[in-house]
A = this chain, B = another copy of it.
Amino acid sequence: MTALDPTSVTCPAPHAETERVLLGHGSGGRLMAELLADLAPRLGTSAADDAAVLPFGSAELVVSTDSFVVTPRFFPGGDIGSLAVHGTVNDVAMMGARPMAISLAYIVEEGLPIEELRTVTDSVATAAADCGVAIVTGDTKVVNRGAADGLYITTTGFGLRMRGARPEAKGGRPGDVVIVSGPIGLHGVTILSCREGLGFETEIASDTRPLHRLVTAMITAGGDAVHTLRDPTRGGLAGALNELAATAKVGVELDEQSIPVPAQVAAACELLGLDPLHVANEGCLVAFVAPGHADAVLAAMRACTEGAQARVIGRVVADHPGRVTMRTLVGATRVVDMLVGEQLPRIC
């Protein structure tokens, strides 16, 4: 044993840096998955689905909650108020439920113009009316200047699961067809463009919109053959598919040429070095559907405005469980990973 043998070193180990929350912990990517895997078991909950199903006599109540911290608060296509309603309506819908009611909690920074609070509140009301949901209760807290950034909104949505609907994060089975309801990347690129003044926001707008009518059409056409529904918000399509593949213990194979990336989204992503598959969406969904029902579900989707551009983008496989791969335009196959770290904070 020499003096340099590491087993002989007795000085204290280097002081561990305090682990701190990073922006990337909120990104919908791998860091966030790790944080939730740490916290959720302490609460006895699962982080797999975006909503919970509570048995209620012979009915099933679906509940989902989300905080909205988007900046800027107003953007082409919507604002923090409509986004909060749509996001929560969509999370409830992704469990195959018809949204009925929403609760609304504001955290307001001292100094916010009251007129802005009225404008956002009117936007909440308009979006809720359009979705056919009632705002049933609320709360308002005010924090001192500098203790928040204008306005944060937390909405909790309630809905009743449709008869025969069983979509869930773990529902994917080998052979299932992977369907996306429309173009991807619009919300994320719009927010980023607004924030950085890139100019794309004059050409594109967020896709924020409610998807519950589309889901109703899909369930009516496909029933429990609609195995999984997910709106790919934070973390984008790649984040959503990786989570679903891991939860269902299946692989997913995508076909790059079938993925609908609008030209402006592609241009912005190229300029910024982003992968469109990691960019957030607020108005489209991805579904795993049993192959025998895929045509009927696709037809039902295309009959809805929100699903007019629905298409098949890949399939669920038994190979490489937990992993998403993509056959690229040049015929190669690459792994589609979750975002690691932070691409774009405060996207919703």
Contact = CB atoms under 8 A, between A and B. Distances in A.
Interface string A315-335: 000000000000000000000
A105 B348 CA distance: 14
B45 A143 contact: no
A219 interface: no
Interface string A35-52: 110111011110101111
A61 B61 contact: yes
Interface residues of A, number: 80
For this chain, the copies found in one complex come to 2
Interface in A1-44: 18-27, 32, 35-36, 38-40, 42-44
B156 A23 contact: no
A76 to B, nearest CB: 22
A54 B267 CA distance: 48
Contacts of A111: 20-21
A343 to B, nearest CB: 13
Interface in A106-143: 106-115, 117-118, 121-122, 124-125, 128, 134-143
B40 A138 contact: yes
Contact of A137 (B27, B38, B65): B65
A107 B67 contact: yes
Contacts of A137: 45, 49-52, 63-65
B140 A36 contact: yes
Interface in A66-105: 66-69, 100-101, 103-105
A273 interface: no
Interface of A: 18-27, 32, 35-36, 38-40, 42-45, 47, 49-52, 54, 56-57, 59, 61, 63-69, 100-101, 103-115, 117-118, 121-122, 124-125, 128, 134-144, 146-149, 152, 154, 156, 158, 345-346
Contacts of A147: 69, 148-149, 346
A141 B69 contact: yes
Contact of A26 (B47, B56, B140): B140
Nearest to A137: B52
A58 to B, nearest CB: 9
B156 A115 contact: no
A27 B29 CA distance: 38
Given A115-B18, A142-B26, A107 B110 contact: no
Given A26-B141, A142-B25, A154-B67, A125 B18 contact: no
